[in-house]
Amino acid sequence: MKAVGRSVTPYQFMLYTNLSMSGVAFFMCIILGELTKGLEFISTEKEVKIAILRFAACSAMGQSFIFYAIANFDPLMCTTITTTRKIFSVLLSLLFKGHNISGFGWLGILLASGGVMSEVEMKRKKGEEGKRKKFGVEMKGEKFREEESQSLVMGGNTTGTMSRRSSTDLLSDSKSDSSLI
């Protein structure tokens, strides 16, 4: 679609994915001979119909969020979202359904949580580094040039009491100030 100049919306992406999954499930039911048995079971059990409708509604809402994230964010963000959702699903299942989990299960939850937290921390540091580069380093360079030109214009004395500082002094001050950002 992008080659034609159109982009796929999250809902189109979701529709195409669900149609292809439904097609595969339909053909597998026919091949395995389960289609008529499944339809008979659904038609006789009222609770199953309600459960299927609830599942479909929850699935549609969840897929809307996931496909929106896929269409609008980078792969790392999508991975973080889906992994976090799975971690919370397990924790909520443990809390509200009373399920038990082994020591290795808890280790898996801790590792997954640690991975998500490290991704968030790396992204936060990268964002701060970008801000430093954009505002800190460039501003320090401008400040350095401004002070140096002011010093030259005023005959080497910017404050009236201080003698003109060398370029290396200003540069070292600039570097020490950058640690405060």
Q: What is the pLDDT of residues 125-141, one digit of tens each?
A: 887 777 666 665 554 44
165 Ramachandran zone, left/alpha/beta (phi>0; psi -120 to 50): beta
pLDDT of amino acid 4? 66
86 against 164, higher pLDDT = 86
What does pTM read for this prediction? 0.49
CA distance to 72, 89, 102, 130, per residue, from 82 (Å): 14, 10, 23, 26
Tell whether the model's pLDDT for residue 121 goes beyond 70.
yes
Report the mean per-residue pLDDT for the chain. Answer: 77
Element (H, E) at 174: helix 167-178
Confidence of residue 107 (pLDDT cuts 50, 70, 90): very high
Whether residue 172 has pLDDT greater than 80: no
